[in-house]
C-alpha cells in the first residue's frame, strides 16, 4: 500500500532523513521506533505532505505522492494523527470532528460521524463540550476520531500514548487493534516500543535518519540491540 524509497528530508541545512526506505502492506500494523530526534515524526510528516523531501520517492497504492499538499494526500486516504493531538480547543467535539471530514462529501461525513460515535461513545457524550475542556485521553480519542472522519485507508499515528495514564493507553491500543481488524492499515510511531511491537505485524528501527533494523515484530522483540535500547531488557 505504501512504499518509500531513499527518502531524504532536511530541516533547513540539517539532514533529518538520510535515505529512509520502508513499506506498509494492506491490512498491516507497521511500527517505526527510535529515540527522540531519530527522524520518526519527520518521516510521518514527509509522507503526509507537511514536509517536502529533497530526494527519494513515496508511493501510495502505486501513485507517487511526494510533494503533494497535505489536503491532497488526505483526500487519497492517507491521514495522520499528529503528536500532541492539535485539536482546536475553542471548538466543540462535534465541530472538531466535522473539520476532520473536510475532504469528504456531506453524506460521507454523516456516515463517518455515526461510525466515530459508535467506536468512541465518549465523544458522543461530549459532542457539545469544548475540546480544550476534555481530559488528555479524551483529547487523544478526539484526535483519532477527527482523522477517522476523513475515512483513511492508511492511518498514521504519531505517539498516541504520549502523556496518558496506563489505563487510557490500554484503551487507545485496543482501539488501534479494532481499527486494524475492521480494515484500516496503520503506520504507528510510538514511544512505548514494547506495546507497539506487541500489536504490530512488522517494525523498523530508525536512528539519526537511517533505518538500522527491520523485520517482524517478533524478530525485533528478540533483537539484542532493540531489547537493550528500547525495551529496557
Cα 187 to Cα 8, 11, 90, 106, 153: the distances in Å are: 19, 22, 29, 27, 11
Taking the domains of the chain in order of start, what are their residue ranges?
A: 2-77+152-230, 88-143
Cα 176 to Cα 77, 87, 92, 166, 198: the distances in Å are: 17, 19, 24, 15, 12
Element housing 27 (H / E): none
CATH code of the domain occupying 2-77+152-230: 3.40.50.300
User: Helix H segments across 23-89?
Assistant: 40-48, 70-76
Q: Which has the closest alpha carbon to 83: 41, 46, 50? A: 41
Element housing 171 (H / E): helix 166-181
The predicted structure's pLDDT at residue 36: 87
> Residue 220: exposed, middle, or buried by beta-carbon count in 10 A (0-12, 13-18, 19+)?
buried
Cα 94 to Cα 49, 71, 117, 142, 198: the distances in Å are: 26, 20, 10, 9, 33
Element housing 4 (H / E): strand 2-11
Q: Which residues of the chain have pLDDT under 70?
A: 233
> How does pLDDT run across 13-41, given as a tens digit for each residue?
889 999 999 999 999 999 999 998 899 99
Contact 81, 131 (CB under 8 A): no
How far apart CA 158 and CA 145 sit, in angstroms, is: 14
The predicted structure's pLDDT at residue 37: 87
Residue 74, phi then psi, degrees to nearest 5:
-60, -40
Q: Which has the closest alpha carbon to 156: 86, 78, 101, 211? A: 78
DSSP 82: -
Contact 122, 87 (CB under 8 A): no
For residue 36 the three cell numbers come to: 527522540
The predicted structure's pLDDT at residue 233: 62
Amino acid at each position: 500500500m505504501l512504499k518509500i524509497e531513499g527518502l531524504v528530508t532536511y530541516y533547513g541545512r540539517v539532514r533529518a532523513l538520510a535515505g529512509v526506505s520502508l513499506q506498509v502492506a494492506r491490512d498491516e500494523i507497521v511500527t517505526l521506533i527510535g529515540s527522540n530526534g531519530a527522524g520518526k515524526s519527520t518521516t510521518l510528516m514527509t509522507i503526509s505532505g507537511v514536509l517536502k523531501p529533497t530526494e527519494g520517492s513515496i508511493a501510495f497504492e502505486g501513485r507517487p505522492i511526494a510533494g503533494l499538499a497535505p489536503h491532497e494526500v488526505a483526500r487519497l486516504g492517507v491521514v495522520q494523527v499528529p503528536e500532541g493531538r492539535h485539536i482546536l480547543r475553542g471548538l466543540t467535539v462535534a465541530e472538531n470532528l466535522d473539520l476532520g471530514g473536510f475532504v469528504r462529501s456531506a453524506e460521507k461525513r454523516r456516515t463517518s460521524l455515526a461510525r466515530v460515535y459508535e467506536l468512541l461513545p465518549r465523544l458522543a457524550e461530549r459532542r457539545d463540550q469544548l475540546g480544550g475542556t476534555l481530559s488528555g485521553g479524551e483529547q487523544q480519542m478526539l484526535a483519532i476520531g477527527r482523522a477517522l472522519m476523513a475515512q483513511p485507508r492508511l492511518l498514521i499515528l504519531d505517539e498516541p500514548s504520549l502523556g496518558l495514564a496506563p489505563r487510557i493507553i490500554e484503551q487507545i491500543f485496543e482501539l488501534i487493534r479494532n481499527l486494524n481488524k475492521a480494515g484500516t492499515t496503520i503506520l504507528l510511531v510510538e514511544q512505548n516500543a514494547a506495546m507497539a511491537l506487541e500489536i504490530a505485524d512488522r517494525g523498523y528501527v530508525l536512528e539519526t535518519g537511517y533505518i538500522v533494523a527491520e523485520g517482524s515484530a517478533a524478530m525485533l522483540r528478540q533483537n539484542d540491540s532493540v531489547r537493550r535500547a528500547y525495551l529496557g531488557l
